[in-house]
Amino acid sequence: MRFRAKIVDLACLNHFSRVINTIAKLAKTCTLRLTVNKLYFILSDRVANGGVSMWCELCQGNFFDEFQMEGVAADNNEIYLELMPDNLSRALKTAQSAKAVKIKLTNKYSPCLKVAVELPSLSRSSRIVTHDIPVKVIPRRLWSDFKEPSVPDFEVSIYLPLLKTMKSIVERMKNLSNCIVIEANLSGEMNLKIETDVVSVTTHFKDLGNPPWASEDECQSSARGRDLQSMAEARIDIKKLQQLLAGQQVNPTKALCNIISKRIVHFILLHEDVSLQYFIPALA
């Protein structure tokens, strides 16, 4: 089992740091899955996480100048590691003006991701800061716990408004209430609602548009033949939604959510080379 990678391009490095920062805001610990072409950050549905799950996918070629990996076996050419993304995010903080960043899987005393940051230096000798980030290697028999979640059989799928607008609304609502109701219909309308003893607030969005899911796609079965005006709604933990929005430093090229009434809200945020799926379960 071997893994080593290198980023030289500063724009790629900053982009990678942003992605890691986002992940760090969403999950305390997560699984990093490495394949030949892709990196995945996975948080699987566990009660301890409040049932939230995350699936973030990156093409290594868009970030890394060198990327070599050798999985546990030729027929299972993958590596699964458990790590605290915040450690990685902090290691990359020192790398903002780095000449190069090398990441390597090591096993000196215990398994670690070694992040070596080469900083610019005035003298001829280079300055290198290394961080050893402890990781746990996940054995092959547990890999099946980290399968890509299937798109649920939603009732309504809708494009999200500008995340900046949504973020500021959700932040204010979070000051007022612990939970938020998201409701949307197939006419491009979405409402965010909170209600407490003191105040009720509803924000109405319209003309958001509904994504055209391929009609042969079976996941659309609940949406098909649905009354266009009728709202699908789910009440979720407002902190979970706020965390998702707070982590978004760049507006994605596409952002949408799928609602399964009273069960789950499934967010999909697509950037050019990063896709993030986030599942927030409905509260009882």
Pick from 188, 2, 136: which is nearest to 78 by CA? 2
Name the minimum Å distance from CB 246 to other proteins: 14
Size of the residue set binding other proteins (CB under 8 A): 19
Pick from 17, 8, 38, 34: which is nearest to 101 by CA? 8
- Identify the residue among 59, 176, 219, 283 touching other proteins (CB under 8 A): 176
- Per-residue CA distances from 205 to 153, 156, 166, 192, 256 (Å): 23, 15, 10, 8, 13
Name the minimum Å distance from CB 228 to other proteins: 18
Candidate segments 2-10, 166-174, 228-236, 238-246, binder of other proteins by CB under 8 A: 166-174
Q: Which is nearer to other proteins, 199 or 228 (CB)?
A: 199
- Per-residue CA distances from 179 to 99, 169, 200, 235, 278 (Å): 45, 13, 12, 7, 17
* 178 lies in the binding site for other proteins (CB under 8 A): no
* 175 lies in the binding site for other proteins (CB under 8 A): yes
Euclidean distance between CA atoms 273 and 256, whole angstroms:
17
Q: Which is nearer to other proteins, 32 or 169 (CB)?
A: 169
- Identify the residue among 93, 172, 224, 254 touching other proteins (CB under 8 A): 172
Name the minimum Å distance from CB 168 to other proteins: 4
Pick from 156, 152, 182: which is nearest to 169 by CA? 182
Residue type, 143: W
Q: 50 by DSSP, 3-state: which?
A: coil
Q: Which is nearer to other proteins, 138 or 176 (CB)?
A: 176
Candidate segments 26-34, 47-55, 161-169, 268-276, binder of other proteins by CB under 8 A: 161-169
Q: Which is nearer to other proteins, 190 or 276 (CB)?
A: 190
Residues of span 204-243 touching other proteins by CB under 8 A: 204-207
- What Rg, from alpha-carbon coordinates, does the chain have? 21
Give the binding site for other proteins (CB under 8 A).
161, 165, 168-169, 172-173, 175-176, 197-207
